[in-house]
Amino acid sequence: MKPAPFDYVAPESIEEACAVLAEAGGGATILAGGQTLMPLLALRMSQPFILVDLGRVAALRGVTRAVGATRIGPMLRQSDAITDATIASHLPVLATVVAHIGHHQTRNRGTVGGSIAFGEPAAELPAMAVALDASLEVCSVRGTRRIGAGQFYLGPYATALEPEEIVTGIEIPDWDEGTIPIFRELARRPGDFALIGLVGTVTVAEGKVARARLAWFGMGPTPMRALRAEAALAGADLAGLDVRGIADLAVADTDPFDDHHTSAEYRRTVGRSLFARTLGEALALKAAA
């Protein structure tokens, strides 16, 4: 099929983009990387009156340091995130996560902000944003506001972003020294959406877990924090840590579903093993360092 007819606008500033969205009255769709949008247009599952291409807005690109945080421009290409020096130094888990998204060709076009804003339940970046307490700066003609990633996702592909708003920045707080990145996913083939995934960080100090932030993807209608597991890990001694018991708590905070890929019970069973193995290996490496 071919896309339905639409007008195309390529603004060069955030203000211009916001003005176009406001005038469209909900009839516009944003083009960031287009790796999801283009197939939807071709299948006519998305039929906007206006396509607003953000590719020329220089203010939406790049990686900078803020006070106690790393600020990601939403139009940062996923392939650039893998090689960015600031990300490697202050946010290595992001580089790890992005390297597992799609394929080399899609990462060359896909953007960090596009994935976070779209809210695919099985995608890596929305879960990472939730796990790391990211803050999303969004803008419209009415002004700028901030939304915590934990409050951003309302349901499958449903977010707190209003039709006339765009994401203009993603800030991820710094973590203390001794923080371990946590990431693992299970997919049918490399590049496929994950059947089950886990992402986050754990901070270890003086042989104990000082802090943990962990989120699932592919285990519910939105990215899902493993809140009970985080609480059990806080202050726990690494010696004798019951990772399987904590994995049970982590799975209890999920809401998996049956679909044409696999069943909810499979997700629970394999998710429990994936969590225990990932956490156990990460803590063992830290203890041996």
What CATH number does residue 48 fall under?
3.30.43.10
Q: Are 215 and 225 in contact (CB under 8 A)?
A: yes
Q: Check whether residue 151 and residue 201 sit in a common domain.
A: no
- Rounded to 5°, the CA angle 174-161-267 comes to 70
Q: What is the pLDDT of residue 1?
A: 63
Q: Are residues 146 and 198 in the same domain?
A: no
Q: Annotate 33-42 with b (16+ C-beta within 10 A) or e (fewer).
A: bbbbbeeebe
Question: In terms of residue numbers, what domain contains 284?
Answer: 179-288
| pLDDT tens digits for range 29-59 | 999 988 888 888 787 888 888 999 999 999 9
- Number of separate domains in the chain: 3
Strand pairing category for 153-155 and 158-159: antiparallel
Same domain, 201 and 240: yes
184 and 215 fall within a common domain: yes
**For 54, what's the count of Cα atoms within 13 Å in the CB-facing half-sphere?**
30
- Per-residue pLDDT averaged across 211-229, rounded? 97
- The answer to whether residue 73 is domain-embedded is yes
Report the CATH number at residue 159.
Answer: 3.30.465.10
- Domain end, chosen from 106, 140, 173, is at 173
Nearest in space to 98 (alpha carbons), one of 117, 119, 118, 77: 77
Q: Do 124 and 193 meet the contact criterion of CB atoms below 8 Å apart?
A: no
- Asked if residue 1 is part of any domain, the answer here is no
**Is the same domain home to 169 and 200?**
no
Q: Alpha-carbon distance 41 to 37, whole Å?
A: 6
Q: Has residue 74 been placed in a domain?
A: yes
pLDDT tens-digit profile of 142-165?
A: 999 999 999 999 999 999 999 999
210 vs 80, 105, 181, 199, CA distance in Å?
32, 39, 14, 17
Q: Among 18-22, 24-28, 71-75, 163-167, which is the least confidently predicted range?
A: 24-28
Mean per-residue pLDDT over the chain, rounded: 94
166: phi then psi, degrees, rounded to nearest 5: -130, 150
162 and 264 fall within a common domain: no
Query: What are the pLDDT digits (tens) for 82-138?
Result: 999 999 999 999 999 999 998 889 999 999 999 999 999 999 999 999 999 999 999
**44 or 69, higher pLDDT:** 69
